[in-house]
Amino acid sequence: MPVRLDEIVAHFGGNLRGDGSTLVTRIAPLDKAGPTDLSFLTNPRYRSQLGATRAAAVILPPEAAEGCPVAAIVTPQPYLYFARVSQWLNPRPRPAAGVHPAAVVETQVPPSASIGANVWIGAGAVIGEGAVIGANCSIGEGAMLGADCCLQANVSVYAGCRIGARVLIHSGAVIGSDGFGFAREADGSWVKIPQTGSVIIGDDVEIGAGTTIDRGALADTVIGNGVKLDNQIQVAHNVVIGDCTAIAGCVGIAGSASIGRRCTIGGAAVILGHLTIADDVNVSAGTLVGKSIAKAGTYTGMVPFMEHGEWLRNFARLRQLDAMADKIRALERRLQDLEKTK
């Protein structure tokens, strides 16, 4: 459905420049947008594309307004504005309410919920109003899903896990598998420690495809409100993740790590266990966090790459770093002796 620019501004604020009756139907990047598209400029790098855009209108910051050849919505935070308008123009498709005849539901679900084909929901599970559960999901006994949750196809929720409202979980995600806890016999074999804790997930959380969250050993694994987890993240038992922390794909978080609020963790980072990360910490991609971080800031341990031959020459030296440091110290001593006798 086409929307008028002045309708958008009435909803989301901002200053309109140009014709408020301009109609837009979808959002597109500056260089791809056509005459019924709304575009946006958030990164000054793309400013050069503004002059040539064929968009109907552009969301942009005040400092770029002058150079805009078409209608504009001027706002100090164009990226946020774009996100909100895009949500409005692209509401998530809602399947019809009701239980698919090929679903197996061994509990009561509210009529407003939508339960897909081949879903299994165990006895005692509690499903919130308006929840959407995609095909082939499994919801264990006594699990709780808040209102307006959305589970895409093939999600597994173990018995007893508690998930808040408006949580979006992508395919292949697993919530509540056993933590990895064993005691060792003298002969090296392992005795399993029952994982009797649960997983508690707050409201407005997003969990990516293939992400796994283990249940706690004795206490619970806890994911705060507004946390965003990308794909293929591993969250071990008893981990605590503070509100509004965002974690990129392929991150591994070991047992009992405690991560603060509003942190960002880059892709493929590794957080070792039994440590604490303060609020507002940014961990760079590919960084292994091996000890606690007490202070907000950005922390990095990423290794540079090189052309292979250069790498061979340089990285072999890593095995000699301590010897190099010793040699430097010896040189300093000998030089000092020489300088004295000068």
List the interface residues with a second copy, window 226-245 (CB under 8 A). 226, 228, 230-232, 234, 236, 244
Cα 214 to Cα 38, 273, 308: the distances in Å are 42, 14, 39
Residues in 151-180 at the binding interface with a second copy, rule: CB under 8 A: 152-154, 156, 158-159, 168, 170-174, 177-178, 180
Distance CA 24, CA 38 (A): 6
What pairing do the DSSP bridges indicate for beta strands 15-17 and 156-157? unpaired
**Nearest residue (CB) to a second copy, 21 versus 241:** 241
CB of 230 to a second copy, least distance (A): 4
**Binding status of residue 261 toward a second copy by CB under 8 A:** yes
**Binding status of residue 104 toward a second copy by CB under 8 A:** yes
**Binding status of residue 107 toward a second copy by CB under 8 A:** no
Reported residue count of the chain is 342
Instruction: Single out the catalytic residue among 11, 100, 237, 308.
Output: 237
CB of 41 to a second copy, least distance (A): 14
Residues in 67-96 at the binding interface with a second copy, rule: CB under 8 A: 77, 79-80, 82-84, 86-87, 89-90, 92-93
CB of 243 to a second copy, least distance (A): 8
Q: Are 92 and 110 in contact (CB under 8 A)?
A: no
Residue entry with tokens 């929840």: 131
**Binding status of residue 22 toward a second copy by CB under 8 A:** no
**Nearest residue (CB) to a second copy, 198 versus 231:** 231
Interface pick for a second copy out of 9, 219, 275, 278 (rule CB under 8 A): 219
Helix, strand or coil, per DSSP, at residue 272: coil
**Binding status of residue 111 toward a second copy by CB under 8 A:** no
**Binding status of residue 3 toward a second copy by CB under 8 A:** no
Interface stretch with a second copy, choices 4-12, 47-55, 66-74, 254-262 (CB under 8 A): 254-262
Strand order in the sheet with 199-201: 126-127, 144-145, 162-163, 199-201, 221-223, 240-241, 258-259, 276-277
- Is 237 labeled as catalytic in the residue annotation? yes
Where would I find the beta strands (DSSP E) of 1-118? 3-4, 15-17, 23-24, 26-27, 37-40, 57-60, 71-74, 98-99, 104-105, 114-115
Q: Are 139 and 161 in contact (CB under 8 A)?
A: no
Helix, strand or coil, per DSSP, at residue 38: strand
**Which residues does the annotation mark as catalytic?**
237
